[in-house]
Amino acid sequence: MIRWKVPLYKILVEKDDLLDISKVIKRGMHWAEGPEIEEFEKSLADYLGVNYCVAMNSGTSALHATMIAYDIKKNDEILVPSFTFVSTANAALMVNAKPKFVDIETKTYGMDPNILKKSISKKSKIIMPIHYSGLPCQIDEIQSIAKENKKILIEDSAESIGSTINSKKIGSFGDASIFSFAGNKVLTTGEGGAVTTDSSKLYKKFKLIRSHGRKVGNYFLSTNKPEYIQLGYNWRMSTITAAIGLSQLNKIDKLISLRRKNAKILNSYLKKIDTITLPPEPENYKHVFQLYSILTPNQSIRNELQKFLATKGIMSKVFFYPVHLTAYYKKFKNTKSLDTTENISKKILSLPMYPNMKKEEIQLIYESIFEFFEKKQQ
């Protein structure tokens, strides 16, 4: 394992995190289906401004659950970007549906509303945009398109909890929304996820899907005969995981503020390099900087820069390579052009970003990038 001087991400761990976890452990029971899970769900729903939240063991499970809850079937189309983590597209295949890729725009690197309009067909059931890197996509426009065409809107909000458009939080625009709490996310529980909705009908479905299709409440505390009324999975979040989530959620404003502060410092230096495009943040949009992604002039320079940063002990990564160009997805024919997706993917590079970045770490990043581009000009 490489020991980076500046890793791509670190988790801010404080005394309250350790205390909240230790309380659950010391209790010696209810490590599964403990009260912290429901408390986390309620707190998260309140934070997002939605009615219901169901915690799960990953964002991928949450995506899969939305496909099942909406009874998506073979040959149904799920409109998704290719500029995303692979599980967004995989969710469609998990229920034998078809992911139909929609190109992105350059304002937010999210699904392009104009191209979306032309991509909708009679087979289209769900529109599922992502909010890339901590910045909302043009979700208000996409929401209007979904309503106009009577399509289901699912927000893949895995990367962008806390981001807003006109002070309205993402995760509150769709018919349902999913979140990921993986280790590199703004709110992390190591692994974990959630699905949110305003629909009581969907909420009940999600709870059944999450826990074996079992109707009974807390299986480990109940002596009643369990009723299994549909096919379900073991996608439950553990109590310890929920305790971490609660602790992180209690300081999410601080976590976001620190990320934005660090991004602002990087912006102030890197804006001096005119061949770099800084992370976008349109007016009335709030970026939470789960990733700090820059655009370089071309793929060759991007790759050279990544290698150069590695020699300095700075980790960087490409988020994302297009899903439709991966080995598995190449066998699926996609008739639509994805020029912007492919162009952005060739130039993009995500630099380290986390709340507890040291001044020296930020300095090493921008000084190393300055050095790289100065050498390129010689």
Q: Which domains does the chain have, with CATH numbers?
A: 15-250 (3.40.640.10), 252-377 (3.90.1150.10)
Q: What is the mean pLDDT of residues 266-276?
A: 97
- Partners of 102 in beta bridges: 81
Question: In what helix (H) or strand (E) does residue 93 lie, and over which residues does it extend?
Answer: helix 86-93
Amino acid identity of residue 8, one-letter, is: L
Q: What is the mean pLDDT of residues 100-117?
A: 98
Q: What is the mean pLDDT of residues 131-153?
A: 98
Amino acid identity of residue 42, one-letter, is: K
User: If we measure between CA atoms, which residue out of 230, 114, 248 comes closest to residue 192?
Assistant: 248
Q: What is the mean pLDDT of residues 54-70?
A: 98
* Per-residue pLDDT, 45: 98
In whole angstroms, give the CA distance from residue 276 to residue 271: 7
If DSSP codes are grouped into helix, strand and coil, which group holds residue 300?
helix
Other Cβ atoms closer than 10 A to 203: 20
Q: Per residue in 293-315, pLDDT tens?
A: 999 999 999 999 999 999 999 99
DSSP 123-156: TEEEE--B-GGG---SHHHHHHHHHHTT-EEEEE
* Per-residue pLDDT, 222: 79
With cut-offs at 50, 70 and 90, classify the pLDDT of residue 335: low
Work out whether strand 52-56 and strand 193-197 pair parallel, antiparallel, or are unpaired.
antiparallel
If DSSP codes are grouped into helix, strand and coil, which group holds residue 189?
coil
* Per-residue pLDDT, 357: 98
Q: Per residue in 206-260, pLDDT tens?
A: 999 999 999 867 777 778 888 999 999 999 999 999 999 999 999 999 999 999 9
Helices (DSSP H) in 15-72: which residue ranges? 15-27, 35-48, 59-69
Distances (CA, A) of 66 to 203, 308, 328: 10, 42, 23
- Partners of 169 in beta bridges: 164
For the chain, the distance separating the N- and C-terminal CA atoms, rounded to the nearest angstrom, is 34
Distances (CA, A) of 323 to 89, 188, 248: 8, 24, 31
If DSSP codes are grouped into helix, strand and coil, which group holds residue 17?
helix
* Per-residue pLDDT, 38: 96
Other Cβ atoms closer than 10 A to 160: 32
Question: The whole model's pTM is what?
Answer: 0.96
* Per-residue pLDDT, 4: 97
In whole angstroms, give the CA distance from residue 142 to residue 160: 17
Q: What is the mean pLDDT of residues 166-175?
A: 98
Amino acid identity of residue 127, one-letter, is: I
Tokens 């052009």 appear where? Answer: 337
User: If we measure between CA atoms, which residue out of 251, 248, 127 comes closest to residue 177?
Assistant: 127
Percent of the chain with pLDDT over 70: 99
User: If we measure between CA atoms, which residue out of 131, 99, 101 comes closest to residue 116?
Assistant: 101
For residue 69 the two structure tokens come to 């809850």
Percent of the chain with pLDDT over 90: 91
Q: What is the mean pLDDT of residues 68-97?
A: 97
**Strand residues in the chain grouped as ranges (E):** 52-56, 77-81, 98-102, 124-127, 152-156, 164-165, 168-169, 176-180, 193-197, 285-286, 292-295, 348-351
Indicate if the pLDDT at residue 1 is higher than 80. Answer: no
Q: Are 79 and 126 in contact (CB under 8 A)?
A: yes
In whole angstroms, give the CA distance from residue 277 to residue 280: 8
Using CA atoms in the order 123, 50, 280, 180, what is the torsion angle rounded to 10 degrees? -80
* Per-residue pLDDT, 114: 98
Q: Are 292 and 169 in contact (CB under 8 A)?
A: no
Indicate if the pLDDT at residue 334 is higher than 70. Answer: no
Other Cβ atoms closer than 10 A to 177: 28
